[in-house]
Amino acid sequence: MKIFKIIFLIFVIFFASPAFAGDISVKYENGIYHIVLKGEKVKKKIKFITSEELITNKEAHIKAKAKLTVNAGFFDPNNGQTISYVVTDRMTSADPIFNKSLYANQFFRKNMNKVLNRSEFRVLQCGNKFKYEIAPHNAGVDFECSIVTSAQGGPLIYPELKLEEEGFIVKDEEGNVIRESASVLHKTSRTIIGIKGTEECHILIITDENPMDMYQVRDLCKDLKLDRAMGFDGGSSTSMNYKKKLEVISLKGDGAGRVLKSFMIVY
């Protein structure tokens, strides 16, 4: 907590009003960093990447020489393999179907269709135009469109919260929750991505200072008037690096920043 307060004091002046770096704006309020990527040019500068070995968000940020880096999809910390699909430069760079631990887990094996079809954020090229999309992984793309880069996460949060449909909670016959993943029903730090209109991508870094459950996040996305929103990995994975000015990590664990599998890079 002390570490976060020190970071906040250093940047409070900088983030008292939105800070702009070309097509990127960043604003801090009530424990939440609200990042907006706006305009046509920035769409071409977004790339989802994976690392062969697990690395911190800061390491990925420095290696890519990025303006902005945030954590992306889910992964298995025991074997370093992905639980989320990732497309980099039009090629699949992370495929959970090759993660043997999924098949060894009784829940994942039984609910594989739900897990593999969780929501993903896409940057599409349609002719000479680029656009954002949030859709189930198995959903096709419009005619003359192709996926340039994407990362799967989940669940879909807005306009409809799909916890059961994407296998994040399981209920018994009486409607009681008997299994929960990604602490969706509990308050924790989170990384959220959404879209508004055709020109704006919104990223919410919900810090330890204002943890939220997914129902609270849904209401926040509604207040922000987003069209669609979904989750990336959260909790101790919540991470952001902005230029050389800001680093945000969850203070859960050792506070040094969790090592991760996939990242959203903005050049």
Query: What tens digit of pLDDT does each residue of 95-111 get?
Result: 999 999 999 989 999 99
Inter-residue contact 167 to 111 (CB < 8 Å): yes
What is the domain partition of the chain in residue ranges?
2-266
Rg of the chain on CA atoms, in Å? 17
Contacts of 115 (CB under 8 A, 6+ apart): 83, 96, 102, 108, 166, 167
Instruction: Please determine, for residue 16, whether its predicted confidence score (pLDDT) is greater than 70.
Output: no
- For residues 36 and 183, give the distance between their C-alpha atoms in angstroms, rounded to a whole number: 26
Instruction: Please determine, for residue 18, whether its predicted confidence score (pLDDT) is greater than 80.
Output: no
pLDDT one-digit tens code per residue, 44-78? 999 999 999 999 999 999 999 999 999 999 999 99
Contacts of 187 (CB under 8 A, 6+ apart): 211, 212, 213, 216
Q: What residue type is 232 in one-letter code?
A: F
Bridge partners, 27 (sequence order)? 34
pLDDT one-digit tens code per residue, 211-222? 999 999 999 999
Q: How many residues does the chain have?
A: 267
Q: What is the pTM of this model?
A: 0.91
Task: For tokens 């999924």, name the residue.
Answer: 102
Which pLDDT value is given to residue 217? 98
Percentage of the residues of the chain whose pLDDT score is greater than 90:
85
- For residues 226 and 120, give the distance between their C-alpha atoms in angstroms, rounded to a whole number: 16
Instruction: Please determine, for residue 5, whether its predicted confidence score (pLDDT) is greater than 50.
Output: no
State the chain's mean pLDDT as an integer: 91
209: which DSSP letter?
A: T
- For residues 108 and 227, give the distance between their C-alpha atoms in angstroms, rounded to a whole number: 30
Asked if the peptide bond before residue 159 counts as cis, ω within 30 degrees of 0, the response is yes
Contacts of 249 (CB under 8 A, 6+ apart): 57, 238, 239, 255, 256, 257, 258
**CA nearest 220: which of 68, 46, 31?**
31
Identify the residue with better confidence: 209 or 252.
209
Which pLDDT value is given to residue 69? 98
- For residues 23 and 201, give the distance between their C-alpha atoms in angstroms, rounded to a whole number: 11
